[in-house]
Amino acid sequence: MEKEIIRYSRIHGVSFTEKSPSSFPPHWHSDAEFTLILKPGSQYSIGKKVFQPEPGDIILMWPRELHTVEKVPPEGACFIQFSSALIDNNIDLITASGFLKDHHHISAKSEPALASEITRHILSIGDIYNKKPYFAETRSKQIVYSILILLGDFVMQEKNRVDTEEPFSGKTRNYIHSACSFIADHYAEDISQAAVAAHTGLSPFYFSKIFKEYTQMTFPVYLAKIRVQNACNLLARDYLSITECAFLSGFQSTTTFNKCFREITGYTPREYRRLHRGVEV
């Protein structure tokens, strides 16, 4: 199991690969990877799940997920990769990320309209990637967001169809969105779950319950993740020491910072800085 560092050589934060490798050992990366299946005979593993997609299907590898390309026939697939920052810096997507990451396979047979639209978007990014017109980065990222909106609408509609209970109502979604916005604005401060609950107007107990159900993370884990994501951006600035990056991200001690950072990224802050020097984080 290895971490892959994706380097964006043509377009900042987005890449397109026309020909998938025939196989690739277990690995993970901080970026997302969406694969369009072009020929029969492919097989992928994501975590402990095995997928044998058909032509026209889409395979979704979300940031930081262990996955393996078991086999792909020649010219059997193409894929895009994009920086996790497109998700991590968007409150709408952060609040829905727990649901999005449950989905790894869009079947062209079961969801033909959705698969067709995502296919069109992936190929559009490929066209931009090869021709590199003016505003290629903006155009590519706009298309990535279009894909994520399509997936988000599909996932939430599926969720609402299956779960009709209060935890996933529109009102609850607004509470979580408000909480995530507050955390994004105040993560560098010494904020507590009680303070965020008070901001939303909920009791600490009820807030804790719906926050975990909706984000699929406890509040401390979510807050640590947000702080580490911001620390990654700060580590790209060589003029800041690692200690300064820790405190500017809201960590109260370097010991806690180093522990959380390694658990989330797989590297120490020093290793991460060295590996990502000159690379988008």
* Three state DSSP letters for 127-173: HHHHHCCCCHHHHHHHHHHHHHHHHHHHHHHHHHHHCCCHHHCHHHH
Q: What b/e sequence results for 164-177 when a residue is b if at least 16 CB atoms lie within 10 Å of its CB, and e otherwise?
A: eeeebeeebbebbb
Report the pLDDT value the prediction gives residue 4, as an integer from 0 to 100.
86
Q: Which residues, given as ranges, of the chain have pLDDT below 70?
A: 1, 162-169, 276-281
What is the C-alpha to C-alpha distance for residues 234 and 27, in angstroms, rounded to an integer? 25
Report the pLDDT value the prediction gives residue 22, as an integer from 0 to 100.
97
Report the pLDDT value the prediction gives residue 192, as an integer from 0 to 100.
95
What is the CATH class of 2-162? Answer: mainly beta
Q: Where in the chain is the domain with CATH 1.10.10.60?
A: 167-276
What is the C-alpha to C-alpha distance for residues 150 and 153, in angstroms, rounded to an integer? 5
Hey, what are 138's tokens?
């903006």
Report the pLDDT value the prediction gives residue 1, as an integer from 0 to 100.
54
Sheet containing strand 24-28, edge to edge, reads 2-3, 24-28, 67-71, 43-46, 49-51
Report the pLDDT value the prediction gives residue 279, as an integer from 0 to 100.
47
Report the pLDDT value the prediction gives residue 194, as an integer from 0 to 100.
96
Question: Residue 41: left if φ>0, alpha if ψ -120 to 50, beta else—which one?
Answer: left
pTM of the full structure: 0.83
The matching CATH number, chosen from 3.40.50.1370, 1.10.10.60, 3.40.50.300, 3.90.1300.10, for 167-276 is 1.10.10.60
